[in-house]
Amino acid sequence: MSPDDKEILNLMASPDKKEEAFSLLLNQHKERLYWHIRKMVLLHSDADDLLQNTFIKVWNHLDTFRGDSSIFTWLYRIATNETLNFLNKKKETLLNEPGDLELLMIDQITHDPLFEGEEIQKRLQKCILALPEKQRLVFNMKYFDDLTYDEISEILGTSTGALKASYFHAVRKIEAFIKNEVF
């Protein structure tokens, strides 16, 4: 457990310091969580909503956190669940056509004024969108967030072996998409 985590846990232990603990936690992790969510949902407005929901849940369950895992892992898990639930609901509203959500999101990348990447980055994002959701999540966490397999395993509740295989397949698929100019 990091010194920051210990400090936050100590503050959380006393009810009158709960707000202070929450502020510390929010300041330390909001940006990292935002980018984690944003890479999955792509749109800023969606990411903003989900980040707010994540911190509301964190606030509401602050008392239940016992420090069995690191605060960072706990926050990532909440944010990931919020994001996956959001994507599933969005899929349900799109007439249950598989692939509809991915097409919509690819279109959003093309027209999003908050997308500032080069062409190669845009192509990479389109390739990532074509991956199955879990592979996409693993790829983002490993490639962009530089999380270790152990950390990802703790967040997603999946074995490291399965994660390694998932990441390997994701990389191979993206390479194939780019080389074959699918996107």
Partner 1 sequence: MDKKIFGNKKVPFKVPENYFESFQVRLPQNTYPFPGENNPTGGLLSIVKPWLTLAAGILLVALVYTQIPKWFVQEKLTTTVTHQNEDSLLNALVLTIDEEFIQEWLLEGEIPIIIPIDTAAWPTSITEEEMAMLTQFE
Which positions touch partner 1 (CB under 8 A)? 19, 23, 26-27, 30-31, 34-35, 38-39, 42, 44, 48, 51-52, 55-56, 59, 112, 114-118, 120-122, 124-125, 143-144, 171, 174-175, 178-179
Nearest distance from residue 170's CB to partner 1, in Å?
11
Q: CB-wise, 111 or 179, nearer to partner 1?
A: 179
Q: How far is CA 99 from CA 60, 90, 112, 127, in A?
A: 35, 12, 20, 13
Q: CB-wise, 90 or 122, nearer to partner 1?
A: 122
Nearest distance from residue 150's CB to partner 1, in Å?
21
The answer to whether 174 and 128 are in contact (CB under 8 A) is: yes
Alpha-carbon distance of 120 to 125, in angstroms, equals: 9
- CA 52 to mean position of chain CA atoms: 14
The answer to whether 32 and 55 are in contact (CB under 8 A) is: no
Q: CB-wise, 57 or 69, nearer to partner 1?
A: 57
